[in-house]
Amino acid sequence: MKKFPKKEYSVPFFKENGYVRKLCPKCGEYFWTQNPDQKTCGEATSEGCAFYSFINNSPTRKSYSLREMRETFLSFFEKHGHTRINPYPVVARWRDDVYLTHASIIDFQPYVTEGIAPPPANPLVIVQPCIRLVDISNTGPTFGRHLTIFEMGGHHAFNHPEKKVYWKDQTIRFHHEFITEVLGVKSEEVIYKEGVWSGGGNAGPDVECIIRGLEVATLVFMKYKVVNGKFVKLPILTVDTGYGIDRYAWLSQGVPSCFQAIYGDILEKMFKMAGIKEIDNKLLSKVAKFSGLVSLDRTASRLDARRQIAKKVDMPIEELDKILLPIENVFAVADHTKCLSFILAEGVIPSNVQEGYLARLLFRRIYRLLKMLGIQDKLYDIVDMQINYWSKDYPHLKEMRNEIMEILSVEEEKFRETIKRGEGLVKRIIKELKNKKIMKVPAERLTELYDSHGLPPEIVKEISEKEGLKTDIPENFYALIAKRHSQASLKKIEGKPEKKFETSISKIPETKPLYYENPYKKEFEAKVIKILNKNYVVLNETCFYPEGGGQPSDRGYLIFDGKKARVVDVQKIGKVIVHKVEGKTPKEGTRVKGVIDWNRRYSLMKNHTATHIINGAARHVLGKHIWQFGTQKDVNRSRLDITHYRRLTLNEVHQIETLANNIVLQSIPVETSWMPRNKAEKLYGFRLYQGGAVPGKEIRIVKIGEWDVEACAGTHVKNTSEIGFIKIVHSERVQDGVERLVYSVGKPALKAVQENENLLFKLSQTLNAPIEKLDKTAEKLVKELKQALAEKRKLIKELAVKESIAASEAETVKKIGEIKVLTREFKELNVDRMVQTANEIIKKDKAIVTVFYGTDGKNARIMVMAGEKAIEKGVNASEIAEESAKILGGGGGGTINFAQGGGTITEKLSEAVKKAEETLKKQLGIVKD
């Protein structure tokens, strides 16, 4: 990490107030103090620079609740000329690089900090709920120094070259006045520690404010943009402060843990639920004093940290751990359930991708902690308490209560299914490890099982230790997982040759987009500005819409000098629109006439507007948790992916379809306008970003009456009635937590209905039943088919029993070592019959191996089944089938007790059977390789 020189931190305030700069001998960081006897930086960390001295000894004038501290902070800065701003969502949908809001400055990056858009006010003050899941492993053991959800107080000033608001000195003065004059902390108790802050793509020097061991605020002076790891100076100097509102409340109350300061009665109720009747606050206070030593990303394990504290409080580690572990688990559950409630309230569906992955990680950790406490059944009661308590300040929690509870119920069921399915998988992996003489489950396997199969390491540990394998779970396992998934991966556009033009077009003027002025304009005239790579044309203005936002580009023609070039693709690179043409290419400076394929364009316009309508309908039918996950428009069929926690029913699809068509029939005007980002967000909220992050100072708003409003760059019809008719032709689950709706509009929608009618008509003819009675006829046929299949299975079983008796007495039974081998050819290749016969034989004799084979004339098949005792002697059916199938020119495989294979070389079937016997002998050690 870059270090800054002393001059970056030497401000007049320090000199005026007698602060001196010192070097901490413990952590090696510089700090500023008024106390000449201060030896260390004073922060309680794992380096042991200090311990908490505010426990039961608050330095503030009075005790504050979290709510009171929040209001005190906001009011102070309002009195000092800052405009109060409402908090942003905890899901950062206005950004494409992070999923969750982890600092107040996230609200204003990159548009405000880089000068692209003005701030909502300057200066401003905000208290922003923040989520940092990278601290998940430390939540609980550090008594509240780490939280996954916390409130960050930020007073921000954006200093432009032409207008300075305030910078370092005044920022520190504001903090000092707040902490000393408002909260009543003595000035000499406030230490300022030098540091470097980097996050969200920006960086700068900072000072961390330490009071009695606790870091309560970080004052960042953001002056750099981080580009490929390098610091590049920004024209705008941003004051980015982070006041820990939760920590200030903890400091003022002086209670043993921050959780007690934040949650109060909720925590007491949770302790009772967990059967923790009496809390030894005297012991907790002693432990809390040294809890700064704990940091699971720095120490080897929780027990190592506990061992240090046990010495400090003079208690055996086993006894201390027994007392503290359930208390810390309750602390963590209190924090995590609040965090999860906030995430789910903003429409995040637990899944295996993006912010949904983080929600699922949080849920499964909560569930495991509750299991350790023996109160899994209290999950809903605890979440309900959280919603009731926090909705006083964040009312959207109460509005989403029913959806939150439903999502939790579905996720709980999925988790149970995951555990049930995962047990067999873990046992197979254990067997594989044992075969390789590996007696410990590697940490990378734990990560793989969690990432790919959703199996928590605690489940793997339980199963593996029963099977005799050791499993060490890294103490910071969940933090490592969260860190890997907290950053959004940048979307890459691959296979687009236009990307190579980014450098060459940097000096070309912006292309004027005529399609925004009039999306109904079919023809236009323009001047050729540049020709790139022979067949890429840049015009000064165009009606051709470039691909973007799930809408394909326009096609059409450029006409010039009596010639015609076909436009096959259009892309936007920065502010320049590039047309790919086939045929003759016009010369630079030529005037051309552009003609777009109107039928295609108009169809795409209708489909795009329909997407907005259907998205709104889905939200009305399914709930406010619905967000657009992805979309792709086309001429005949389009698709919309939405976030939802369960499969859509046909009835729900029909409701969405009906509601969408009602909007079409209401002839609602579709309005488009450009609006400053801040104004749009204030007017319409963050629902605007259905299609993801939208760049720019101004954003284009598409509004369909009171039904739907989104930030969108696509082309749309002027009135919903132009769409005519919407038909949802298909729905499917494309991944966990995401439902896809495939639909057509206008004539293609009518065609889709007619195709379904044709299918019904053909089915009616085939079944010789009227359309209105097709359901009854089909039910009757299915019932009869099931009865026939059941009778068939019964006959096959009876035949298999008879054949097994005859086969076991036949001459084809050979003895190889201590086991028997039965080979038999089935003249009529019937897999069910082969399996049933083998099963019946092995029921009677566990030390037998059956090798059945046959051919249908085109393909040969060989099937191997081994009894339990045969497997104990070393028989592996999968290996036998695989080796035999090679002779047949094909492949094979299966499990250790049952496998099959085959190939097309039917004439070598008898040779394959011999190979099976040879492989078996090798397995038994009778024939060596």
Structure tokens at 408: 């939790």
At residue 300, the pLDDT reads 47
**pLDDT of 810:** 57
C-beta separation of 924 from 870 below 8 A: no
pLDDT, tens digit, 9 for 90 and up, residues 780-796: 888 888 888 887 777 77
Of the listed ranges 435-449, 481-495, 577-591, 592-606, the one predicted with least confidence: 481-495
Q: In this model, does residue 555 exceed pLDDT 80?
A: yes
8 A C-beta contact, residue 566 and residue 584: no
Q: How far apart are CA 259 and CA 281, in angstroms?
A: 13
Tokens of 263: 């949650």
Instruction: From residue 636, give the alpha-carbon distance in Å to each of 599, 601, 744, 747.
Output: 11, 12, 6, 9
Q: Higher pLDDT residue, 435 or 416? A: 416
The DSSP result for 96-155, as a single string, is SSBSB--SGGGGGTTTTTTTSS--SSSSEEEEEEEE-GGGGGGTTTTTTSS-SEEEEEEE
The single residue listed with the structure tokens 């555990």 is 419
Residue 180: C-alpha distances to residues 189, 207, 212 (Å): 9, 17, 14
Region 583-603: mean pLDDT is 94
Q: Comparing C-alpha atoms, which of 721, 716, 678, 683 is closest to residue 696?
A: 678
Q: pLDDT tens, 855-913?
A: 888 888 999 999 988 888 888 999 999 999 999 999 888 888 999 999 999 898 899 99
Of the candidates 404, 396, 486, 358, the one whose C-alpha atom is nearest the C-alpha of residue 89 is 396
- Using CA atoms, how far residue 549 sits from 354, 513, 686, 751, in Å, is 19, 16, 18, 26
- As a whole number, mean pLDDT of residues 311-315 equals 84
Average pLDDT for the chain: 88
Q: How far apart are CA 358 and CA 737, in angstroms?
A: 13
Higher model confidence: residue 493 or residue 179?
179
Q: What percent of the chain has pLDDT over 90?
A: 54
Q: Are 49 and 43 in contact (CB under 8 A)?
A: yes
- Total count of residues recorded for the chain: 929
Determine the average pLDDT of the residues in 232-241: 92
How far apart (Å, rounded) are the C-alpha atoms in residues 281 and 143?
A: 13
How many angstroms separate the CA atoms of 892 and 886, rounded? Answer: 8
Is 640 a residue whose pLDDT tops 90? yes
When comparing pLDDT for 314 and 488, which is higher?
Answer: 314
- Give the 3-state secondary structure of residue 664: helix
Q: Which long-range contacts (CB under 8 A, 24 or more apart) does 74-82 make?
A: 74/125, 74/127, 74/153, 76/178, 76/182, 77/123, 77/125, 77/155, 77/174, 78/125, 80/174, 81/123, 82/121, 82/123, 82/124, 82/125, 82/155
Per-residue confidence (pLDDT) for residue 636, from 0 to 100? 92
| Per-residue pLDDT at 716 exceeds 90 | yes
* Per-residue confidence band for 355, with pLDDT thresholds at 50, 70 and 90: confident
What is the C-alpha to C-alpha distance for residues 526 and 543, in angstroms, rounded to an integer?
10
Helix or strand holding residue 538 (H, E): strand 536-539
Instruction: Tell whether the model's pLDDT for residue 314 goes beyond 70.
Output: yes
Whole-number Å distance between alpha carbons of 888 and 879: 15
- The token pair at 309 is 């504290």
Report, as an integer, the average pLDDT of 303-328: 84
What is the DSSP pairing of strand 30-33 with strand 20-23? antiparallel
Q: Which residues contact 619 (CB under 8 A, 6 or more apart)?
A: 626
- pLDDT-wise least confident of 378-382, 510-514, 531-535: 531-535
Residue 160 DSSP class:
B
User: Sorting pLDDT into bands at 50, 70 and 90, what band is 492?
Assistant: very low
What is the structure's pLDDT at 798? 65
Range scoring the smallest mean pLDDT among 28-37, 135-144, 155-164, 595-604: 135-144
Can you give the pLDDT at residue 420? 80
Q: Is-contact 471 464, C-beta < 8 A?
A: yes
CA distance 575 to 526: 17
Q: State yes or no: pLDDT of 744 exceeds 50.
A: yes
3-state secondary structure of 435: helix
pLDDT attached to residue 293: 65
pLDDT for position 494: 43
Question: Within 10 A of 745 (CB to CB), how many other CB atoms are there?
Answer: 31
Report pLDDT for 493. Answer: 42
At 290 the three-state DSSP class reads: helix
* Poorest-pLDDT segment among 54-63, 109-118, 637-646, 718-727: 109-118
SS3 per-residue string spanning 732-773: EEEECCEEEEEEEECHHHHHHHHHHHHHHHHHHHHHCCCHHH
What does 791-858 look like in DSSP terms, one character per residue?
Answer: HHHHHHHHHHHHHHHHHHTSTTEEEETTEEEEEEE-SS--HHHHHHHHHHHHHH-TTEEEEEEEE-SS
When pLDDT is averaged across residues 228-256 and rounded to a whole number, the result is 93
From residue 508, give the alpha-carbon distance in Å to each of 288, 530, 532, 541, 576: 63, 8, 12, 12, 7
Degrees to nearest 5, angle at CA 193 with 191 and 198: 145
Residue 20: CB atoms within 10 A of its CB come to: 13
> Distance (Å, rounded) from C-alpha 645 to C-alpha 598?
39
* Contact between 379 and 412 (Cβ < 8 Å): yes
How much of the chain exceeds pLDDT 70, in percent?
A: 94
**What pLDDT was estimated at residue 115?**
83
pTM of the model: 0.82
Please give the Cα distance from 332 to 135 (Å, whole number).
11
Dist CA 201 CA 166 (whole Å): 22
Instruction: Write down the pLDDT at residue 301.
Output: 57
Q: Rank 321-325, 473-477, 485-489 by mean pLDDT and report only the highest.
A: 321-325
Would you put residue 549 in left (φ > 0), alpha (ψ -120 to 50) or beta? Answer: left
Residues 742, 728 contacting (CB under 8 angstroms): yes
* Residue 929, pLDDT above cutoff 60: no
Inform me whether the pLDDT recorded for 615 exceeds 80.
yes
In sequence order, what are the beta bridge partners of 738?
643, 735
Between CA 610 and CA 832 the distance in angstroms is 50
Q: How confident is the model at residue 837 (pLDDT cuts 50, 70, 90)?
A: confident
